Amino acid sequence: MQPEQQLALVGGNALIPEGPPLWPLPDESVQEALIAAFSDGSWGRYQGPHIERLEARLAEYHAVPFALTCCSGTFAVELALRAIKVNPGDEVILAGYDFSGNFRSIESIGARPVLVDIDPSTSSLDAAIVEDAIGLTTKAIVVSHLHGGIAAMRSLREIADRRGLQIVEDACQTPGGNVEGRMAGTWGDVGVLSFGGSKLLTAGRGGAIVTAGEDIHQRAKAYCEQGNNAFPLSELQAAVLLPQLDLLDARNGVRRQNAATLIECLRDSSGLSAINTMPPDSAASYFKLAWLFDENAWPIDRARFIAALQAEGVAIDIGFRGFTRRGPRRCRRAGDLTHSARAAERTVLLHHPVLLESPATIERVTETFKKVRRAFSEPNAE
């Protein structure tokens, strides 16, 4: 009998609860917001109170003067680049391992991505080598906080200020994260948020930028207002996001606690290393919890490891493909991209809903990881 078959007999799909999908949660406050928007008709209007309220709340929450909502996080990155005046022909520094849409957002402006390797302990741009990548036409840096890691924003900010560059800080995976005492998204000249269907704050689709720059906000607004507000978040989407913002800090707290437990319990699993190096005074939000899977230390490859855990009901998947195979026609490679390539090959990501589960479920998840390891190391053990 194959180890996968043995596992299925032992555990079944124990971690998949019966019923509706795990995310979004059926929050009463969201239901009330939906009903209220239905009752007052605001759900169907071009203009109403919710967008204005949400933008004010997002600005207040991030302690910046301006927030502007839009149709997606992907578009928000493009909007941010336009708002800081990245022009066709400019270069924009980006990690060799990042969300694929960020590469495209740079391209969509006619700018050119410059790939810099990641620091493997954070999954984000390696600030120590960014400066060497700056060329005559380099205008900006796009940096993402990924998979529960926190980018080295203080160093990046210092480099950008000294070299006259601007930063787009992608906090789509880290809303409410704390980066060296400041809200994630506020070290950049512009911060970017996503409200996509899987995200910690969700409206199915949607995004926003936050900024302290009045001129940046004005340019972004002017770009969006072409035609009849061409890239909007809807009033209904804003209505359901408002109550979620009130729940975010408490939920981030639970996710952090459970992520710390999982990281600790699996620390001794050789061949699985957590990506959780934090700068001081920082805390991530855990849209995903990441490990690097070292195939040399396992009797199976990453695909089989993931399939076995998924068969056990654990919501786990591979990470991004990264950009290390993109050719010189589309981007400039600044140095070696070894860690980015390794991240693309080895990252495994636990999806966030499980991080709001009970301690007993968290324990079952760690046991399932260990069980998979045992089943493949000693096929007759289970």
Ligand X SMILES: Cc1ncc(COP(=O)(O)O)c(C=O)c1O
- Which positions touch ligand X (CB under 6 A)? 72-74, 99, 101-102, 144, 146, 170, 172-173, 194, 196, 207
Tokens at 193, concatenated? 């948020």
Query: 176 or 196: whose CB is closer to ligand X?
Result: 196
Q: Which is nearer to ligand X, 101 or 176 (CB)?
A: 101
Nearer to ligand X, 95 or 239 (CB): 95
As measured in angstroms, the least distance from the Cβ of 73 to ligand X is 2
Q: Which helix (H) or strand (E) holds 112?
A: strand 112-116
Cα separation, 221 vs 213, whole angstroms: 12
Rounded to whole angstroms, the Cα distance separating 271 from 269 reads 6
Closer residue to ligand X in complex, CB, 101/191? 101
Q: How far apart are the first and last CA of the chain?
A: 11
Which is nearest to 1 in space by CA: 379, 372, 300? 379
For 56-92, b where at least 16 C-beta lie within 10 A, e where not — what string?
Answer: ebbbebbebebbbbbbbbbbbbbbbbbbbebeeebbb
Q: What is the closest distance, in whole angstroms, from the C-beta atom of residue 288 to ligand X in the complex? A: 8
Q: DSSP labels for 157-190?
A: HHHHHHHT-EEEEE-TT-TT-EETTEETTSSSSE
Smallest distance from ligand X to CB 100, Å: 9
Q: 181-206 as b/e, with b when 16 or more CB fall inside 10 Å?
A: ebbbbbbbbbbbbbbbeebbbbbebb
Nearer to ligand X, 175 or 207 (CB): 207
In the complex, minimum distance from the CB of residue 207 to ligand X, in angstroms, rounded to a whole number: 5
CA atoms within 13 A on the CB side of 223: 21
* Nearer Cβ to ligand X (48/319): 319
Least separation, in Å, of the C-beta of 363 and ligand X?
A: 28
> Which of residues 233 and 242 has its CB atom nearest to ligand X in the complex?
233
Q: How far apart are CA 96 and CA 341, in angstroms?
A: 8
Is the CB of 11 or the CB of 319 nearer to ligand X?
A: 319
Closest residue to bound ligand X by CB? 73
- The tokens for 260 are 């710390």
**Token pair belonging to 273:** 């290393």
Q: How far is the CB of 209 from ligand X (least distance, A)?
A: 12
Complex with ligand X: residue 133 or 146, whichever CB lies closer: 146
Under a CB-based contact definition with an 8 Å cutoff, are residues 382 and 376 in contact? no
CB of 170 to ligand X, least distance (A): 5
294: three-class secondary structure by DSSP: coil
Partners of 66 in the beta sheet? 211
Closest approach of ligand X to the CB of residue 167, in Å? 14
- The helix/strand count (H/E) of the chain reads as 12, 16
Least Å from the CB of residue 149 to ligand X: 11
User: What span, in angstroms and rounded, lies between the C-alpha atoms of 89 and 166?
Assistant: 16
Give the residue with the Cβ less far from ligand X, 133 or 184.
Answer: 184
Please, what is the minimum distance in Å from the beta carbon of residue 75 to ligand X? 7
